[in-house]
Structure 1
Amino acid sequence: MRIALLSYSTKPRGGVVHTLALAEALAALGEDVTVWTLGRGGDEGFFRAVDPAVHLRIVPFPDGPQNEGVGPRIIRSIAVLRDAFDPVAAKYDIVHAQDCISANAVLPSGRCIRTVHHLDQFTTPELAACHERAIVEPDAHVCVSRSVADELARGWGIKAEVIPNGVAYERFADTDPAARRAWKQRLGHYILTVGGIEPRKGSLDLLEAYALLRTKHPDPALVIAGGETLFDYRDYRARWEARAQELGVQPIVLGPVPDDDLPPLVAAADAFAFPSVKEGFGLAAMEALAAGTPLVVRDLPVLREVFADAARFAATPATLAEQLSAALTAADPRRQTAGRRLAAQHTWTEAARRHLDFYRRAGQR
């Protein structure tokens, strides 16, 4: 089967991680897989090495005019990817878009499957239109959790196939002790979150929780990794920095971390905080469970569905601080064992097999 998987970026965002891992698992099952994406900022490759069994088409995306807004950049992203993909679209048996930009780019070429990782509400008109069209026009839909599939059914009357994410279990479960020690020597005791500083990640709530936590636990640092994004969160980041100064806290902002350095960073953390206000699955949090790191997540239906008794749940900054305190204070072997077992169950091989079955059924409609 000739399969095109499409994403919008080469950077380490959750949807891009998903796309590459799924592509590699499909190729390992003998499928002919090509990943298409935009190479922003001169990128000629992804944030990590990709199995050579997967074909890569990275479409150059030149810088736009100075101070280009999000809306014009979205429109230009769609147009650039569409112009590159249209001439060869017919050679693929399956065209599977992983986000609204790539879905809008390939919809004119014919049939399209769309993975809806999570649902957003946008105020930028161009982005809102991109989001809506990428939901209503594809021929078939995949969601990575039942909660998001139910949102899709309630809001648009669309029935989606539920295929959970896989997780690179061994990569996070079996990290190099020397690499873990290196992070400990650099950071000391720390609470980690991955995803950068942005509204969807609940960064301001985590900041408030950390300030409350320090009244009982003054030692652990708050460490923030990741943060590559297409969107402009400078105003939110400025509010976050101002609030940190008001609260008298100084989180350590690492920014994007090299791919090989991420597993030991996660494994060396004293706790992993995941206070997102919108998620489809929570891949970074599942990686933390694979590493055996205590996990505290936002009390959302989707995260209750995915993590069950393997995580601690918090609804407010105050309860987030309480649950982080509990995670730091007392070892919880039962929860840790449940977390490792849960993460080990989510394999990319199984996700790929389920995708292939869905592709075959979708192709018969």
Structure 2
Amino acid sequence: MRVALLTYSTKPRGGVVHTLNLAEALAHRGVDVTVWSLARAGDRGFFRAVDPAVTVKLVEFIDLPGDTVTDRIVRSIATLRDAFSANDFDIVHAQDCISANAVGRCIRTIHHLDQFTTPVLAECHERAIVEPYARICVSRAVADEVCAGWGLAPTVIPNGVQAQRFIDASDDTAAQEQWRSDLGRYVLAVGGIEPRKGTVDLVGAMAVLREHEPAVSLVIAGGETLFDYREYRSAFDERCAEVGVAPVILGTVENDALPSLVAACEVFAFPSTKEGFGLAAMEALAAGRPVVARDLPVLREVFGDSVAYASTPADFAARLREAIAAPPDPARGRALASSMTWDAAAAAHIEFYRRAAS
């Protein structure tokens, strides 16, 4: 079976992490896998090394001065379409709107649903849902959204987790101490500063928390994106100044350093307003850290009672304070993370591909 997995970026966003891990697990099961991606800003590879069993095809994408977000996405679709040939594969599996619009007939994983006001982007989003001949979602909650909105019935195949990387980091006291030496005690959020990540709410929560825990700071990692969140970033900066919170913004963290950054935090905050699964929070559980997550149906589905839930900045502050004062036994969360393997996800995908092909 020759499978093409397509993603839009080489950076460590959730869908890209999913694509690489799935590709490697499929290859380990004997599937001939090629990962296709656009390579932006001179990238010569993904954010981490990829197993040699997986073939990687990168398509150069050159940013042009004056490009809007819409311009970049339209050109991204055209650039990938011109480079890709579906005739070389038995299964073409797109992981996002850009690749689904680029490749034509395909399977699509819908990680989460977006809302666009720009007509061109709204049309791209719509086509990437309705035109694929088969669909996968990584949680039942998102599959139910697709069913309610379009009358379609995606198959649910949960994410896997590279749990052992984060379990090992929980035992690496030297690496943790280096982070604590640099950052002090901190609440960690991963995913950058953008509306979907609920970052402004987290600033409000930290303002309340620091009334009781003044030595605990906020650290934000990650945030590579195609979209223009300057207005949200301005609101974030204004809120920080208003409440006196000075977060440490790390940007993209090297893949090998991320597990110890997670393992060294006091508590992992996950205030996202929209998620498909919550992989970063699952990695935090593997690292043995308490997690406080937004009270969303999808996160209730995935995490059950292994994390604490909050809905407002005040709720988040209270749950963060409780987790710092009395961290829960990490065994339950670690067991959950360890139970979700990429090998199991790959096996489910192979069965899905066989059904789809027939």
Asked if Structure 1 and Structure 2 have the same fold, meaning a TM-score greater than 0.5 normalized by the shorter chain, the answer is yes
| 2:99 counterpart residue number | 102
Residue 295 of structure 1 corresponds to: 291
Q: Identity percentage over the alignment? A: 64
- Output aligned runs, 1:42-57, within 5 Å: 42-57=42-57
Show the 5 A alignment for 1:103-252.
103-107=100-104, 111-175=105-169, 176-252=172-248
Runs of 5+ unmatched residues, structure 2 = none
Structure 1 position 32 matched with structure 2 position 32: yes
Superposed CA RMSD: 0.7
Q: Which one is further off, 115-124 or 95-104?
A: 115-124
Q: CA–CA distance in 2 between the matches of 1:299 and 1:119?
A: 17
CA distance in 2, matches of 1:278, 1:72: 25
Deviations 1:295-345, CA, capped at 9 Å, x for gaps: 000000000000001000001111011100110111321xx2110010001
Structure-1 separation of matches of 2:131 and 2:276: 20
Task: Tell me the secondary structure at the aligned position of residue 283 of structure 2.
Answer: helix
Q: Note if 1:309 corresponds to 2:292.
A: no
Query: Could you tell me which residue of structure 2 aligns to residue 59 of structure 1?
Result: 59
Aligned residue type for 2:102: A
1:339 and 2:333 matched: yes
Q: Deviations over 1:43-63 (max 9, x none)?
A: 110000000110000000012
Amino acid at match of 1:28: H
Q: C-alpha distance in 2, partners of 1:80/1:48?
A: 23
Q: Secondary structure at the match of 1:332?
A: coil
What amino acid is aligned across from residue 195 of structure 1 in structure 2? G
Q: Deviations over 1:270-308 (max 9, x none)?
A: 100000000000000000000000000000000000000
**Per-residue deviation, residues 56-81 of structure 1 (Å, max 9, x unmatched):** 000000122x2211111111000000
Distance 1:188 1:244 in 2: 19
Number of residue-to-residue matches in the alignment: 356
Report the Cα distance in structure 2 between the residues aligned to 1:84 and 1:326, rounded to whole angstroms.
52
Deviation at 1:217, TM superposition (A): 1.1
Q: 3-state DSSP class of the match of 2:257?
A: helix
Q: Give the partner amino acid of 1:149.
A: A
2:354 aligned residue: 360
Determine the C-alpha separation between the residues in 2 that align with 1:130 and 1:80.
15
In the alignment, which of 90, 106, 109 is matched to residue 93 of structure 1? 90
Amino acid at match of 1:169: A
CA contact (8 A) 1:72 1:126 kept: no
Secondary structure of the residue aligned to 1:297 is strand
Contact 2:138 2:158 in 1 (8 A): yes
Q: Over residues 172-215 of structure 1, what are the superposed CA-to-partner deviations in whole Å (9 max), with x where a residue is unaligned?
A: 11113221111111111110000000000001000111101111
1:11 pairs with 2:18: no
- Contact conserved, 1:114 with 1:134, CA < 8 A, in 2? yes
Offset from partner CA, 1:240-269 (integer Å, 9 cap, x none): 111101111101000100000000000010
Q: Is the 8 A contact 2:63 2:72 kept in 1?
A: no
Distance in 1, matches of 2:70 and 2:252, equals 25
Which segments of 5 or more consecutive residues in structure 1 lack a partner in the other structure? none
Q: Is contact 2:194–2:233 with CA below 8 Å preserved after alignment?
A: yes
Calculate the TM-score normalised by the size of structure 1. 0.97
SS in 1 for 2:261: helix
Runs of 4+ residues over 3 Å off in structure 1:
none
